[in-house]
Amino acid sequence: MMQENTEPVAEPVKEFFKEDLWDAAREFLNYGLHFGEGDNSVDITIGLLLSLTLALVGTTLVLRWMRNLYSRKMEQEDRMKFISVFKYFRYGIYLVVVLLTVSAAGIDITLLITASAVLFVGIGLALQEFFQDIIGGIMILVDKSLHVGDIVEVDGKVGKVFEIKLRSTRALTRDDKVLVIPNHKFMSEVIYNYTQNHRMTREAVRVGVAYGSDVQRVTELLLEAAREQKGVLKNPKPFVTFDDFGDSALLFAIHFFTNDAFTDPRVKSDMRYRIDALFRENRITIPFPQRDVHFFAHTPLSVREDGQGPANAPEGSA
């Protein structure tokens, strides 16, 4: 008896959920902007926007899970590099997800892909150096040819790297100025990395002494200046080379090793002060450039006194 009474009530409820509520929801999801007619029509509806939102949120969660899965056992420096590369990979995934979602919504994306290809070619030509910088940054991060703390020389300027990004690398110069280096320079130009193999570098201070100086004494004094200098390593030991017979001086160089190539100009300056003091104490002269001029004439040169006319003046001249 009760079943007969509930059946008439259940039927209208089922019809309400099946027809009225679903039709209202479908009408709400189809509400939006409609362009074109037939196969070329494009419908930007609330349903499409909700689908894109859900797809992007789901993709973000999956990508975040993948990033944490792959980078959880990496060291901090490698992890930061992986995240930088993964960020650009993520943008490509987002683009694919958007295109697939739009295609699933019934929008023909053939024209969109064609127009995008033409657009990307134009952007690629206009931003050629930008993409070269990105590729250079990825190569630096992958092959580890450059690290934070390395000392590099670019276009005659020396700097210590403190930040590596995908588009550029930043270094602090000896003048405490920031040097921004586009990453494509590391692929297309010769860059000196002072500390890629190890922190120790060999430096040199060059000096000339007058002809006739005791070269053995000069060698001893140069070695003494290097041994006394703070910042010069005891091992490997400093050594002296007799470089050449110069136009005005005998040319020597004191070679030494240091662990701080970034501040070596200060070490070289202090060593020059010490070399000058030792040379003065031992009466060894550092000569200045000089030239001897010899005149060869077939006839004697005429010399005139002040107030007289020019020597050898032609007759009749005033």
Task: Please provide the DSSP assignment of 76-97 as one string.
Answer: HHHHHHHHHHHHHHHHHHHHHH
Residue 318 has pLDDT above 60, yes or no: no
Q: Does domain 141-193 have CATH number 2.30.30.60?
A: yes
- CA distances 232 to 171, 199, 272, Å, are 25, 13, 13
Within the chain, which residue ranges are assigned CATH 2.30.30.60?
A: 141-193
Q: What percent of the chain is modeled with pLDDT above 70?
A: 68
Distance in angstroms between the alpha carbons of the first and the last residue of the chain = 154
What number is the average pLDDT over the span 204-227?
Answer: 94
Give residue-wise pLDDT tens across range 220-274.
999 999 999 998 999 999 999 999 998 889 999 999 999 888 888 999 999 999 9
Give residue-wise pLDDT tens across range 112-165.
666 667 667 776 666 777 778 878 877 887 777 788 888 999 888 899 998 888
3-state SS, 44-80, equals EEHHHHHHHHHHHHHHHHHHHHHHHHHHCCCCHHHHH
pLDDT at residue 15, rounded to an integer:
55
Give residue-wise pLDDT tens across range 13-59.
555 455 555 566 666 556 655 555 555 555 666 777 787 888 888 88
Of 219 and 48, more confident: 219
- Rounded to the nearest 5 degrees, what angle is found at the Cα of 310, between the Cα atoms of 309 and 313? 105
Spell out the long-range contacts of 283-286 with Cβ–Cβ below 8 A and sequence spacing 24 or more.
284/209, 284/210, 284/213, 284/214, 284/217, 284/218, 284/221, 285/209, 285/210, 285/213, 286/207, 286/208, 286/209, 286/210, 286/249
The CATH code belonging to domain 201-281 is 3.30.70.100
288 Cβ contact list (under 8 Å, min separation 6): 248
Selection from 292, 215, 291 nearest residue 251 by Cα: 215
pLDDT at residue 210, rounded to an integer:
93
Residue 315 has pLDDT above 60, yes or no: no
Within the chain, which residue ranges are assigned CATH 3.30.70.100?
A: 201-281
What number is the average pLDDT over the span 173-181?
Answer: 90
What number is the average pLDDT over the span 192-201?
Answer: 84
Residue 63 has pLDDT above 80, yes or no: yes
What number is the average pLDDT over the span 5-16?
Answer: 52
Give residue-wise pLDDT tens across range 268-304.
999 999 999 999 999 999 998 777 777 776 666 666 6
- CA distances 305 to 146, 232, 309, Å, are 72, 61, 9
pLDDT at residue 54, rounded to an integer:
85
Residue 317: band (very low, low, confident or very high) from pLDDT cuts 50, 70, 90? very low
Q: What percent of the chain is modeled with pLDDT above 90?
A: 27
